[in-house]
Structure 1
Amino acid sequence: MLNNIGLVIRQLDLQPYERVALAMHSFTDKRHAASDDEIWLVQHPQVFTNGQAGNNAPALQTSSIPMIKTDRGGKLTFHGPGQQIIYILLDLRRRRLGVRDLVTLLESMIIATLANFSISAHARANAPGVYVGADKICSIGLRIYKGCSLHGLALNVAMDLSPFLLISPCGYAGLRMTQVKDLSPGTGIDDVIPVLLAKCRQQLETTASEIQDWDPLQYGV
């Protein structure tokens, strides 16, 4: 158990992608060896984000949804209200976690969460994320900086999935996206969050404070 490592959980609610990205980088730049790890829960207004390995999709030229280039791993994906994003801000050296270890941990956390809603999900060896059958329900994209993780995962819960049809999600042509509410009718974000946090604490083997508010001024944004 890593009970000496604090874990602060912050609820950001609905926030613009760029504002949160700037705050996340500010937090990581300023953290030190004794800094608590943090988990940020957030939803974003509709936005496409393109990772370091991503290419533009021609269909986006006619879309009113903005596209933002990011420094996370992975390719092009979509975010919108009803998708629960978790930014994972961990000191990986302190936890003795490699990148593959972290990806596996996050996949296991999502699979265990979905099982709570009677959804049978799985990971794939060469395609990070979580799948239900052939469909993808959770995307993972990370960056490691100064031995710490940034970005995280996006779980489709109860959102408008149609913008995914404009792209090849995560670079896979024809990949279909699914979500919790279509597999467990009546389930929403408020149902998923407590289960997700319980599985997160379990996987990280750490103590955690209660959910705290997020003040963007704390990060200079």
Structure 2
Amino acid sequence: MTVAPSLAPALQRRDLGRVDYAATYAAMQRFTAEREAHTPDELWLCEHPPVFTQGLAGKPEHLLAPGDIPVVSTNRGGQVTYHGPGQVVAYPLIDLQRAGYYVKAYVYRLEEAVIRTLTHFGVTGHRVAGAPGIYVRLSDPFDHAALTGPRPGGDPFAGLGKISALGIKVHRHCTYHGLALNVAMDLEPYSRINPCGHPGLRTVDLSTIGVTTDTATVAEVLSQELARRLTP
């Protein structure tokens, strides 16, 4: 583990490298349980070896054929998702009471940080009501026009691909878990699940939509965008 200089007075960034998911999950729980009123907030950045993670309300029918990839049950919100190499995972450990905003605003800020990160690479990210995470237009990810009106056929994901998943837990006003942004992955494992509980939802990464970059570069941009939005 390496510790980078603080992004802001109240947010310490930790670059964990590629780390086991279950061990990182346990470390987040331990950090949150042991933190005190004066404990600085932290932002953990990492990659995980291939793993499916299931949210608290996760339905087994959304896990189609995990095969040799382990499945870890968690206490975050949401359904099943996948983590693997080529993906930037960000875990903000934030005291919301001290920061001065509520959970809904926190989720909005996470999504906005992803949208701004994508903008840095020329990509337009979109929100879908009732489906946390960030999506891109499959036909033209660089089209800056906003999504308007009902989606074709009444399908909220018609023409869209998911590029960033989000799932959080709040304990005593303090957050853990976080978000994942797909950079250059093997996307095959997503075919083994209904991503985030949505059958047929396509998952993409920056490489798929024509952006050549690496996880270190994306992590740097994302960490700065998160720091701007999560610190008081």
| TM-score, length of structure 1 as denominator length | 0.88
What is the aligned partner in structure 2 of residue 159 from structure 1?
A: 185
Number of aligned pairs? 203
Following superposition, the deviation at residue 204 of structure 1 comes to: 2.2
Percent identical pairs in the alignment equals: 40
1:78, 1:104 → 2: CA distance?
A: 22
1:148, 1:163 → 2: CA distance?
A: 31
Cα deviation digits, residues 57-81 of structure 1 (max 9, x gap): 46336x0001010000000011101
Structure number with greater CO (CA < 8 Å, separation at least 6) is 1
What is the aligned partner in structure 2 of residue 143 from structure 1?
A: 169
Cα deviation digits, residues 169-209 of structure 1 (max 9, x gap): 00001000011122243211122122112211221245xxx
SS at match of 1:128: strand
Say whether the 8 Å CA contact 2:183–2:206 is kept in structure 1: yes
The code of the aligned residue for 1:29 comes to: A
- Going from structure 1 to structure 2, the CA distance change for 1:80 and 1:33 (only over 3 Å counts) comes to same
Matches within 5 A, 1:103-114: 103-114=107-118
SS at match of 2:65: helix
Alignment equivalent of 1:102, drawn from 99, 106, 113: 106
Following superposition, the deviation at residue 147 of structure 1 comes to: 0.8
Say whether the 8 Å CA contact 1:135–1:175 is kept in structure 2: yes
1:10, 1:4 → 2: CA distance?
A: 13
Say yes or no: does 1:201 pair with 2:227.
Answer: yes
Alignment equivalent of 2:50, drawn from 46, 50, 55: 46
2:87, 2:63 → 1: CA distance?
A: 24
SS at match of 2:126: coil
Say whether the 8 Å CA contact 1:77–1:167 is kept in structure 2: yes
SS at match of 1:193: helix
What is the aligned partner in structure 2 of residue 60 from structure 1?
A: 65
Say yes or no: does 1:124 pair with 2:128.
Answer: yes
SS at match of 1:196: helix
| TM-score, length of structure 2 as denominator length | 0.84
Say whether the 8 Å CA contact 2:113–2:222 is kept in structure 1: yes
Say whether the 8 Å CA contact 1:74–1:141 is kept in structure 2: yes
The code of the aligned residue for 2:92 comes to: I
Q: Greater share of helix residues, 1 or 2?
A: 1
Say whether the 8 Å CA contact 1:181–1:188 is kept in structure 2: no
Cα deviation digits, residues 130-186 of structure 1 (max 9, x gap): 000211000000011011001000111111111000111000010000111222432
Tell me whether 105-114 or 195-204 shows the greater mean CA deviation: 195-204
What is the aligned partner in structure 1 of residue 146 from structure 2?
A: none
Alignment equivalent of 2:214, drawn from 188, 198, 209: 188
Say yes or no: does 1:19 pair with 2:45.
Answer: no
2:33, 2:104 → 1: CA distance?
A: 23
- Going from structure 1 to structure 2, the CA distance change for 1:44 and 1:58 (only over 3 Å counts) comes to closer
1:100, 1:87 → 2: CA distance?
A: 17
The code of the aligned residue for 1:55 comes to: K
1:18, 1:110 → 2: CA distance?
A: 24
The code of the aligned residue for 2:104 comes to: R
- Going from structure 1 to structure 2, the CA distance change for 1:131 and 1:182 (only over 3 Å counts) comes to same
